[in-house]
Structure 1
Amino acid sequence: MPSEDHGGCRLCGARDLASVVDLGASPPCESFLSAAALEAPEMTFPLHLRVCPECFLVQLPPLIDPAETFTEYAYFSSFSHSWLEHAERFTAGAVERLGLDGDSFVVEVASNDGYLLRNVVARGLRCLGIEPSVNVGEAAREAGVPTLTAFLDEDTGAAVRHEHGRADLVVANNVYAHIPDILGFTAGLRALVADDGWVSIEVQHLLSLIESTQYDTIYHEHFQYYTVATARRALATSGLTVVDVERLPTHGGSIRLWARPAAVAGAPSERMLETLAEEKAAGLHDLSGYAGFARRVEAVRLDLLEFLIQAKRRGERVVGYGAPGKGNTLLNHCGIRPDLLPYTVDRNPYKHGRYTPGTRIPILAPDRIAQDRPDYVLVLPWNLRAELSSQLGYLAGWGGRLVFPIPRLEIVTPEREVIGA
């Protein structure tokens, strides 16, 4: 793993970051193209993952401006049934765990379209979403969720505290990886939370990413990738202490971090200590755990391309399901274009009639699959395997099969998947 100087670690400032995997160059993963844009050039940016040899934060250089990506955003959380159920379970659990009631105040950062806070509203708790994307924030307000259009930093956190009071619970689900200014964002979390309050953060676990070769979750919007150890270091920069960790199946393997202001934090839980020990055993608290990852990524790429090429030679048709950001990393890294994947479908109407960035694959409505009856459906949001296998069970009617590219290539019949889900 050669060391390279690319501006230094954004957490500790160390230089000479070590290479983990170089995925070439691709456009931002959520920059879906209109038909008119197909004749125009696209900007691409290097996608080279590195690890800090001092604090071991895994990171990408901040090559894109979050304001350009998130002001108008294509991702709406409410289009996933399993994600809505996950949010409902979290809300119910948090209310019970923390004893939240009608006097409590809950803030969610990167609250998207209100997918989670609508559960808080339904329970009669005071809440506020902080969401930078204008379009999805408006959808949240239409759903009855109070939402502030803003990026979180220390000033924003202080302004919310001044107007609304300190939060008993601050939720930050799948956003802590999306901000290049870790220190400013973390200071914003501390500004929001009460001195005896809680911060709950969900983020993909780097241990799962490495062990299951989930390299498609590497994209420009994800500026860093966390172990419990590196998340603990980051939160400590503003006086927040991680006291508990839950392991979650979401996004192929995530962690939910429970943190408190240091003065009231107390001792870490046993399951947090166990997770730290597992990370250390995997070599993620030094450089040893990252060796060989690039070779495993290349094997995933070659297996998928070989399948698509052989299917093409046999005259079989393969189409895609889903147009997630992670799918665009996979498609661009593999060089898959409409000759091998003529279209993909997505439940989000915002994406219909658009094209995937870089690879320019048309995105259609889901009913196109039933019309065309393809031989195979390549599932790009593989992390929703159980949910999508159930939705796509009708493929069995004509002998269609599902293809999951990660963590390894699997070709399955939908009816078997439904039985085993």
Structure 2
Amino acid sequence: MNCRFCNHTVSYVFADLHHAPASNSFLTAEALQLPEVYFPLKVWVCHHCFLVQIDEVKQHEHIFDNNYIYFSSFSSSWLVHSHKFAQMATKQFNLSENSLVVEIASNDGYLLQYFKQQNIPCLGIEPTANTAQAAISKGIETITEFFGTPLANQLSAQGKIANLIVCNNVLAHVPDLKDFVQGLKIMLKPEGVISLEFPHILQLIKNLQFDTIYHEHFSYFSLFTLLKVFKKFELEIFDVEELTTHGGSLRIFVRHSQHRKEKTKTYDNIQKVLNDEMVSGLTKISGYANFQYKIDNLRIEVLHLFSTLKKEGKKIAAYGAAAKGNT
């Protein structure tokens, strides 16, 4: 396969989790009598740009369909997180009734509702019809389509360009990374800001979070790699925050490169994360070695624990249906 960013041939395997059923594909009673469909779950790292990625073994249109089961508002802690962000962004970026906030993968309106409450115009873009309808029922204008350059061109031609574009936990779900980032640039006002949140590959490696790897996640990001991605489209990351969500995430803030300002204290935030990544070896291919060995050992340890508990006559109960649970 070729890297979805730099197009170099990718040959280094980061982790091979063999085959797994698609996440969030719950079986009916009738389906239990049939063979379940499994897909390869092999993760690669590009030796050139260090983007960690899987191939698109299941088309994204078949993953994010009209029966998508995840509604963001199910999580009360995520609503609190989103409310705090809306309050911060409104103040920091001087948003008002004359602004436009656009969220890509807006789901059920979990975030945009907090901008709407402040009378700030907002627009959601969400490909899954059932979650989009939930947002529309809250009075949030929502377009039920996948985002990319065609939709960005269409909306910008209508004058719909944003002061703030929010992309929370969506970048990993995008198979055509370059088309997506180009679309962001098209829809961003000259002095607008893009905010993106995503699980940090550094935390995935350090804490053996292999459950983050599943077919919905096409890419796994470091700040080091994303600086290259946005630079290619004349966009620059001007600040980064480290978050605890999803096992350890980054929130990056992006603007048009031509609106670069003098270095501020936010530059130190970027340097701190880059230094952490460099110390951990993420800027060289050797930093991605041994992950397979570590997760294989962890699997053996867990199976041994289960076996021991069973021999002791104890019972093991599990509750939940997260996509990560499949892995």
TM-score by length of 1: 0.75
Q: 1:285 aligns with which of 283, 286, 295?
A: 283
In structure 1, distance between residues paired with 2:260 and 2:237: 8
Deviations 1:357-379 (A, max 9, x none): xxxxxxxxxxxxxxxxxxxxxxx
In structure 2, distance between residues paired with 1:240 and 1:114: 27
State the 1:312 CA deviation.
Answer: 2.4
Q: 1:42 aligns with which of 36, 45, 59?
A: 36
In structure 1, distance between residues paired with 2:57 and 2:255: 32
Post-superposition, which runs of at least 4 consecutive aligned residues in structure 1 deviate over 6 A? Answer: none
- Provide the alpha-carbon RMSD of the alignment: 1.2
Maintained 8 Å contact 1:19/1:48: yes
Question: Which amino acid in structure 1 is aligned with residue 78 of structure 2?
Answer: W
In structure 2, distance between residues paired with 1:185 and 1:177: 11
Q: In the alignment, which residue of structure 1 is the partner of 2:160?
A: 165
Q: In the alignment, which residue of structure 2 is the partner of 1:339?
A: none
Q: In the alignment, which residue of structure 2 is the partner of 1:197?
A: 192
1:141 aligns with 2:140: no
Q: Secondary structure at the match of 1:177?
A: helix
Q: In the alignment, which residue of structure 2 is the partner of 1:240?
A: 235
Structure 1 unmatched runs, 5+: 1-6, 330-421
In structure 2, distance between residues paired with 1:77 and 1:270: 32
Question: Which amino acid in structure 1 is aligned with residue 95 of structure 2?
Answer: L
For these two proteins, the number of residue pairs brought into alignment is: 323
In structure 1, distance between residues paired with 2:123 and 2:196: 16
1:175 aligns with 2:158: no
Q: In the alignment, which residue of structure 2 is the partner of 1:97?
A: 92
| Cα 1:41/1:164, change in 2 over 3 Å | farther
Maintained 8 Å contact 1:29/1:325: yes
Structure 2 unmatched runs, 5+: none
Maintained 8 Å contact 1:183/1:237: no
In structure 2, distance between residues paired with 1:302 and 1:221: 26
Maintained 8 Å contact 2:10/2:45: no
1:219 aligns with 2:217: no
Q: How does 1:109-128 map to 2 (within 5 A)?
A: 109-128=104-123
Q: How does 1:257-268 map to 2 (within 5 A)?
A: 257-266=252-261, 267=263
Question: Identity rate of aligned residues, in percent?
Answer: 39
State the 1:164 CA deviation.
Answer: 4.8
State the 1:16 CA deviation.
Answer: 3.9
Q: In the alignment, which residue of structure 2 is the partner of 1:61?
A: 55
Q: In the alignment, which residue of structure 2 is the partner of 1:231?
A: 226
Q: In the alignment, which residue of structure 2 is the partner of 1:9?
A: 3
Q: In the alignment, which residue of structure 1 is the partner of 2:12?
A: 18
Question: Which amino acid in structure 2 is aligned with residue 205 of structure 1?
Answer: H
Question: Which amino acid in structure 2 is aligned with residue 299 of structure 1?
Answer: N
